[in-house]
Amino acid sequence: MSTAPARTYKDAIDALNTLQSNAAVLEAVRAIGLLNPHAIPEMIDYLRRVDLEPSQLNDLNVIHITGTKGKGSASAFTDSILRTARPGWKTGLYTSPHLVAVRERIRINGEPLSEEDFARYFFEVWDLLQKNTKRETVTAPFMPNYFRFLTLMAFYTFKQLKVDAAILEVGIGGRSDSTNIVPKPVVTGITALGYDHTRILGEKLSQIANQKAGIYKASISVHNCGLPPPHHSIRHVFCLAGAHQRSNAALAVQLAHMFLTITDRSYSHMSDPNTTVPASTPQSRSVIEPLRSLPTSFLDGLKNAHWPGRCQTVLDPQQEGTKWFLDGAHTKESLECCLEWFVSPAIGLPDSPVSEGHPIRVLIFNCTSGRSGDEFLKAILQKIEEQLTKYGSPEKKEDFFAKVIFCSNVTYTSGNFKSDLTSVAMSTTDDAHLKTQREIEAAWNLLVATYSGTVHVLPTIEDAVREARKTPNVNVLVTGSLHLVGGVIEVAGLADIALSPKA
C-alpha cells in the first residue's frame, strides 16, 4: 500500500506564501485608509473552523503587547523574564515579522518551532480550514491571509502544547488586529507610540493611540512603557542599546510582575534577596504596585534575553575585521535610537576622539514604499551630528559613512528570494526600476551635497553585501527595515551566530 509523502517545512512555506496579499491589493487598502470593519468577526470565524472558541484562548494566559516601537523587544524581554522566574513553565511567544525563517514567529520556551513541528501544526490548521467550510461571515475569504493564518497557527500550537503563558505581539496593532480576539488577556501593555501605518491607523497620534488601545479589555491590568524607579539596573544592562531598549525592558518587567502576581499564588517579589521592599509590605492582587527594584530572576531574564536584529553586533565569519551592526529600525524615532547606539564609543566611534586606525563605516539602508525615506535620512544625519557633538568627536556628519548603499529587499542577484523571505507585497515595477531606492539616493544627495564618499543603488541584498565586503576592516550598519536585516543575515552567512542565543 502506497502512502502519500510527508509534507515538509518547505511545502508549508510554499503553501503559506500563496496567502500573501500582493502589492496592488495592499496599495488599494492604504489608499482607502480604513481598517476592515469585519476583521474581528472574520477572525473568530476562522478560529472556529480550526475547532477553537475565543473563550478557549483565555486558557493560554495571554500577555498582549502593542505599540509602534519596541513591541517585539518588549515581548521577547517578557518571555525571557518569565522563563527565568519560572523555569518549570512552558511559554509561547508570537511575534512578527521574522528575520530569516518563518518559524521564528512562533517560539516555545524561547526557541523557534523546529521545521518538523512547524510543518505538523501548519498542515493541521490548513487541513481543518479546508475541511470545515461553514462560514458565518460572508465577507471573509475562504482562506485567511498570511498574517491571519500564522496567528491562527500560533493559537492552535499554543493550545496543543498547553503553554502556561502566551506572549502575543500585535501586527499593525489596530482595533481590528488579528491577535485581538482574545477575550480576556491577563495583562496588556503598550510600548512607545509613533507615526507608522498612518494611512490605516490615522495621521494624528491621538488616532493612533485610539487604535492601539483596542487591545485593552475591561478589568484587565494595563501598563504602558516607562522606567520604574529606581531603574539603574536596567540602565546598566542596556547602557549600549539606548533609551528605547531600557524603556522596553522596563515595560517587560512590569508586565511580568503583574502577570505573576495575578496568575501565580506562590509568587512574591519580596522573597527575592535583591528586592528592597520591606517584608511587612502588604501585597494586594486587586491593586498591584509597580516594582521598585529588580528581583534577581528578573535581572537575569533581561541579561539573557536574545532578540536578534535589534542593536546587535556580529563578527563576519567570512572576512576578518568586518563587523555587522544590525538594527531593524523602521520608524523615524527608531532610527534615532539606532544611531544613538551606533554613534557611540567602542561601537561606531573610536574609544576616544584621538584614536587612530578605527574601521571605516558603511551604511546599508532601505525602506519600503509608502515610508518617507527623506525624513528617515534627515533623522539619521541629525542624530549623527548630535552624537558627534556629545562625544567631542572632530568628525563631520557628512563624512561619517565612507560608503552608503541603498538596495531593495530582493535577496539574491538571481532575482530570487529565499522561500521564507518571499514577498509578493513588493511592487515588481518598483523593484525592477529601483524607484524607492533612487528616490532615497536623490534625497541623500540633496541632504549631503558635499558628501565625499560613494553612494550605491543596488538591486539586491546580495549585491549590497558583496559591495560592503570589498572594503577590509569595516563596520557595516544595516538598518531601515527588518526585511533588509533578515536578508543580510541570510546572504552574509551570519545566521548561525546572529540567531543563536548560545553563540
Tell me how many degrees the CA angle 481-117-3 measures, rounded to the nearest 5. Answer: 125
Lowest mean pLDDT: which of 10-19, 82-91, 417-426?
417-426
Domain finish residue from 275, 304, 333: 304
Query: Using CA atoms, how far apart are residues 245 and 251, in angstroms rounded to an integer?
Result: 10
Q: How confident is the model at residue 281 (pLDDT cuts 50, 70, 90)?
A: very low
Mode of pairing for the β-strands spanning 221-224 and 187-190: parallel
Q: How far apart are CA 306 and CA 483, in angstroms?
A: 18
Examine the domain organization and report whether 358 and 254 are in the same domain.
Answer: no
- CA distances for 186 relative to 42, 174, 190, 326, 462, angstroms: 24, 19, 14, 33, 44
374 and 261 fall within a common domain? no
pLDDT of residue 332: 85
Instruction: Give the H or E element holding residue 323.
Output: strand 323-327
Q: Are residues 335 and 262 in the same domain?
A: no
Q: What is the domain count for the chain? A: 2
356 in the same domain as 273: no
For residues 360 and 269, state if they share a domain. Answer: no
Task: Specify if 26 maps to a domain.
Answer: no
Phi (first) and psi of residue 458, to 5 degrees? -125, 145
Could you list the residue range(s) of the whole structural domain that residue 376 is in? 312-498
* Residue 440's CATH number: 3.90.190.20
Question: Which cell numbers in the block locate residue 21?
Answer: 496579499
User: What pLDDT score was predicted for residue 237?
Assistant: 39
User: Which of 244, 275, 304 is the endpoint of a domain?
Assistant: 304
- CA atoms 35, 408, 421, 109: torsion sign: negative
Which residue would you say has higher pLDDT here, 438 or 234?
Answer: 438
The DSSP 8-state label assigned to residue 218 in this structure reads T
- CA pair distance 342, 349, nearest whole angstrom: 8
Does residue 451 sit within a domain?
yes
The residue type found at 476 is: V
pLDDT of residue 455: 97
Choosing from 304, 338, 359, the residue where a domain stops is 304
Same domain for 427 and 339: yes
For residue 19, what pLDDT band results from cuts at 50, 70 and 90?
A: very high
Q: Which residue has the higher pLDDT, 240 or 64?
A: 64
User: CA 281 to CA 270: how far, in whole Å?
Assistant: 9
**Do 364 and 453 sit in the same domain of this protein?**
yes
Residue 30 to residue 425: CA distance in whole angstroms: 12
Same domain, 351 and 464: yes
Whether 477 and 367 map to the same domain: the answer is yes
- Please identify which residue in the block is written with the cell numbers 485610539: 210
> Does one domain contain both 345 and 494?
yes
Is there a single domain that holds both residue 417 and residue 438?
Answer: yes
Q: What's the chain's average pLDDT?
A: 84
3-class SS letters over 367-410: CCCCCCHHHHHHHHHHHHHHHHHHCCCCCCHHHCCCEEEEECCC
> What are the binding residues for Mg(2+)?
96, 169, 197
- With respect to residue 16, please indicate whether it lies within any of the assigned structural domains: no
Query: Residue 486 has what pLDDT?
Result: 95
Residue 503 included in any domain: no
326 in the same domain as 296: no
Residues belonging to the binding site are 96, 169, 197, 310, 327
In 238-331, alpha helices (H)? 243-263, 296-304
Mean pLDDT lowest among 117-121, 200-204, 466-470: 200-204
Residue 334 lies in a domain: yes
Binding residues for ATP: 310, 327
Q: Write the pLDDT tens digit of every residue in 121-171.
A: 999 999 999 999 988 888 889 999 999 999 999 999 999 999 999 999 998
Q: Categorize the per-residue pLDDT at 284 as very low, low, confident or very high, splitting at 50, 70 and 90.
A: very low
